[in-house]
Amino acid sequence: MKAVILVGGQGSRLRPITYHIPKALVPLRNQPFMGYMVEFLRRGGLDGAVLSLGYLPDPIQAYFADRKDLDGFSLDYAVEDRPLGTAGGLKNAEPYLDRGDGPLVVVNGDVLTGLDLGELLEAHRESGAQATITLTSVEDPTAYGLVEVDSEMQVHRFLEKPAYDEVTTNLVNAGIYVLEPEVLEMIPADQEVSIEREIFPELQARGTLRAHVSSAYWRDVGTPRSYLMASHDVLSGAVGTEPGFEYLQIDASTKVGKGVKLLPPLSIAPDCVFEEGATVGGRSSLGRGCRIGRGATVEGSVVLDGAEIEPGAVVRGSVIGPEVRVGQDAIVRGLSVLGAEAVIGEGNVLDQGLRVNPGVVLQPRSLNF
Ligand code: GDD
Ligand code: MG
């Protein structure tokens, strides 16, 4: 059985990181997100996937081309030349699917989950529905597809991105589906079509859309807040899917100065340098070749490859893009997101979800949020 992974979106809510790195490849504990997705599908017993690509397809294909450990898990790529939406992207993957294979798993390529795919497949087989969608509960359903079900798990309403006054339940679409092949016939080819706004409401009206509620770990990594939370969860083992979990990932290439404090859970990629008295607080992840200066502090953050945090600077709960330089005594906190190669001059203070575009240079002490 195969899956279609929808990974063609622009990741606009995760900009400026996604200007260079597609959302599908943002690292969690120094492993690109797609690594978790493929593990999830393999755990569920699937033997291959078609990636439905659009935005930045090349790095995603290059990532898989480099992986030599997929033993028999087949991968195909369907690349669209313009965004076709979630159903259009699925339709575009159809030539790589074999109708005789029976039902098909479809996943949004940005959900991190400990869900047991086998249970979902079982629920689908038992109900005989044309489509079974996984539901999870969230605090605020307005950023998701709200789903009303009855006690038999029959879907009565699917409402994508409800307004606050339309919220009637906290059960939402988790972006993991099992579809019978005939659902593909409902999708017109070469057109932009949304599975959530067009196909699911139609299946619901036909009475053939079922739901399977899951209480397993689940998170959509598509915003800075949820990406950071997912990173924290993966670092602390909260997703619950990794055997032999280690709280401190570090290797012999790391250079650690006098009085440096490294507080797990931490993931440190090769070739990082920690200068005297630096502190790297728990739930941080540092990419390859980062430098943390004398007395600097990094806490609860994702720092991507080659970033430099200069002496005395503080980075808390933020995402630092590749090759960024955070100047001496600067403070970056409160879910700030810095694009690749940005330079934060000495003494600046960045807070409240501030986003700095790639390559932007902030003069010393020019910002104090
Ligand atoms: N191929 C292709 N083409 N893929 C796309 C396109 C497209 O035009 N647009 C989006 N995708 C992919 C994205 O890359 C992502 O992996 C997935 O489809 C879902 O798109 P998002 O943009 O992340 O949607 P969302 O998070 O706002 O909402 C969706 O996910 C929620 C759960 O996380 C919906 O399915 C909601 O109903 C759901 O609750
Ligand atoms: Mg999403």
pLDDT in tens, 270-280: 999 999 999 99
Report the side by side order of strands in the sheet with 319-320: 248-249, 266-268, 284-286, 302-303, 319-320, 337-338, 355-356
- Ligand 1 site, residue 22, Cβ cutoff 6 A: no
pLDDT at 306: 98
Q: Is the CB of 103 under 6 A from ligand 1?
A: no
Among 183, 200, 235, give the residue marking a domain's end.
235
Q: Please check whether residues 168 and 267 belong to one and the same domain.
A: no
Shared domain for 113 and 223, answered yes or no, is yes
Which domain covers residue 295, as residue numbers? 248-362
339 CB near ligand 1 (under 6 Å) = no
Please give the number of the atom of ligand 1 that sits closest to the Cα of 13.
22
Ligand 1 closest atom vs CA 144: 39
Whether 53 contacts 78, CB under 8 Å: yes
- Check pocket membership of 175 for ligand 1, CB cut-off 6 A: yes
- Indicate which residue's Cα is closest to atom 10 of ligand 1: 9
Residues with CB under 5 A from ligand 2 (ion): 110, 220, 222
Q: Is 103 helix (H, G, I), strand (E, B) or coil?
A: coil
Q: Is residue 155 part of a domain?
A: yes
Choose which residue among 76, 79, 86, 115 to substitute to test ligand 1 binding: the one with the highest number of ligand atoms within 8 A of its C-beta: 86
Statement to judge: residues 231 and 256 lie in one domain? no
CA of residue 86 to ligand 1 center, whole Å: 6
Place of tokens 């440190």: 268
Contact residues for 14 (Cβ-Cβ < 8 A; gap 6+): 23, 26, 221, 222, 223, 224, 227, 337
- Ligand 2 midpoint to CA 288 (Å): 27
- Cβ(153)–Cβ(214) below 8 Å: no
Q: Is the CB of 289 under 6 A from ligand 1?
A: no
Q: Give the closest ligand to the alpha carbon of residue 12.
A: 1
pTM of the model: 0.95
**pLDDT tens digit at each of 369 positions of the chain:** 999 999 999 999 999 999 999 999 999 999 999 999 999 999 999 999 999 999 999 999 999 999 988 888 999 999 999 999 999 999 999 999 987 788 999 999 999 999 999 999 999 999 999 999 999 999 999 999 999 999 999 999 999 999 999 999 999 999 999 999 999 999 999 999 999 999 999 999 999 999 999 999 999 999 999 999 999 999 999 887 776 678 888 889 999 999 999 999 999 999 999 999 999 988 999 999 999 999 999 999 999 999 999 999 999 999 999 999 999 999 999 999 999 999 999 999 999 999 999 999 999 999 887
* pLDDT at residue 55, as a whole number: 95
286 and 220 both lie in a single domain: no
Q: Do 231 and 252 fall within a single domain?
A: no
Residue 198 and residue 52 share a domain: yes
Say if residue 265 is preceded by a cis peptide, omega within 30 of 0: yes
CA of 134 to the centre of ligand 2 (A): 14
Q: How many domains does the chain have?
A: 2
Q: Are residues 267 and 220 part of one domain?
A: no
pLDDT at 244: 67
- Predicted confidence at residue 34, as pLDDT, reads 97
Residue 241 lies in a domain: no
Query: How far is residue 201's CA from residue 184's CA, in Å, rounded to a whole number?
Result: 15
Angle between helices 33-43 and 117-127 (to 10 degrees): 50
Is residue 315 assigned to a domain?
yes
The protein residue whose alpha carbon is closest to atom 28 in ligand 1 is 144
| pLDDT value at residue 74 | 94
| 196 CA: nearest ligand 1 atom | 37
Q: Is 318 near ligand 1, meaning CB less than 6 Å away?
A: no
